Amino acid sequence: MSKKIGTEAISRRSLLRSAVSAGAAALAAPALAQSALDDLINAPRRGTWDDQFDAKVSRSAVSVVSNNPVLGPSGPANIQQAIMDYQMIVSNGGWPQVNPAQTLRIGAVDPAVQQLRQRLAISGDLDRSAGMSSAFDSYVDGAVKRFQARHGLPADGVMGEYTLKAMNIPADTRLRQLETNLVRLQSMSGDLGPRYVMVNIPAAYIEAVENDRVALRNSAVVGRIDRPTHAINSKIYEVILNPYWTAPRSIVEKDIVPLMRKDPTYLTRNNIRLIDGRGQEVAPETVDWFAPKAPNLMFRQDPGKINAMASTKINFHNPNNEYMHDTPQQGLFNKLMRFESSGCIRVQNVRDLITWLLRDTPGWSRQEIERVISTRQNNPIKLAQEVPVYIVYVTAWSAKDRVVQFRDDIYQRDGNQELALQTTTGIEQPAGSVEEDFLPQ
């Protein structure tokens, strides 16, 4: 429903009363109609008739994702425009703190909603024509969802703990964050290639970019703060369908050996084979699992559904033994805090990404990729042409439409502790997700 325009517009109250009166006369039931209208008007939490409850407004305001890539030649200019906008906000006194006494959501009436409206209007999330009432209407709901989407938060319209913390970061702190990231984007503003992949660690997502437009965007799980994903410029040279997973020595010593002492069937149940230095398989029952040192053997998991990398591994040149891969733990992509790996990058909808990567490699259509995956047979594929990959640490950026994005400083590199306190502190490593990159149960 459109907002009231001008002094001659008919108010909702008079419109509804006239409509009910006309309907009542026609139906010869005026007392019943007036009683229903009075109940509605006098409802304690109805807000005011000038407040808007339009579902279309609430939904459309969330769309802040652009097909402009984070990196590339336009990145520095876009963030410089954001810096000028935020300098103006800071010079005008910033924005107010929002301190509600209750959890605010659509339908609530609270004096703190006026602070919330002012805060959202200053940052450009709420049109100033929406007014300054105390009712959390659909315009406020849409503005909160827009704010949440710009900060990498679930766009549910509820003023929960993380949304409130992000909203109460001062404007001058956000300005300094933009200035810090301008330097990062300037260093990545050269010729990145006609096709490339970008992994933004703080945003925990991946962009496949072609001709300076985002062709594909995938959610990711990246390294936690004590085992961070390394920033690097490299090239993707290989996709492996149905990969083997080789357990790192640290997992063997800390996890697998103790598990074998408790359950001698652990390796067999998880399709993990022991391989000696001559490439020969060793039976688990011939190993002394109570010896002081772990056996000097390769622990290699066969391809399959329970493989730590599931269907796919994507290799790029790097000295850190890091790579991108699929995962059997798909539920991790639904989490707010996707900083749980030991450095490798887990990719949601990875088959979309590898289809894009293998587009110029003859014989590898999506249909053929799916067919080979279904065989459970290991199949390495060299790319016909290596694709650049840029793994970067960018916590603030802006698109051409001046939609400014912020993310938590998960590795505490922005120089302000306040920026690292939103969603990333106190993260406990979930059971069964130790070392690189997943331990079968």
Q: How many CB atoms lie within 10 A of CB 224?
A: 22
Q: Which of 200, 198, 233, 232 is nearest to 212 (CA)?
A: 198
AA letter at 438:
F
Cα 236-242-244 angle, rounded to 5 deg? 85
Quick one: tokens of 398?
A: 């802006």
Q: Which sign, positive or negative, has the C-alpha torsion 52, 54, 55, 61?
A: negative
The residue with tokens 């969603």 is 423
What gap in Å lies between CA 418 and CA 97, rounded to an integer? 15
Quick one: tokens of 78?
A: 């876009």
395's CB contacts (< 8 A; 6+ apart) are 177, 180, 181, 202, 406, 407, 408, 409, 414, 419
β-bridge mates for residue 198, sequence order: 207, 390
Catalytic residues: 325, 344
Q: How many CB atoms lie within 10 A of CB 415?
A: 10
Q: Which of 427, 376, 384 is nearest to 204 (CA)?
A: 427
Q: Return phi, psi of residue 232, to 5°.
A: -160, 150
AA letter at 413:
R
What is the largest distance, in Å, between two alpha-carbon atoms of the chain?
96
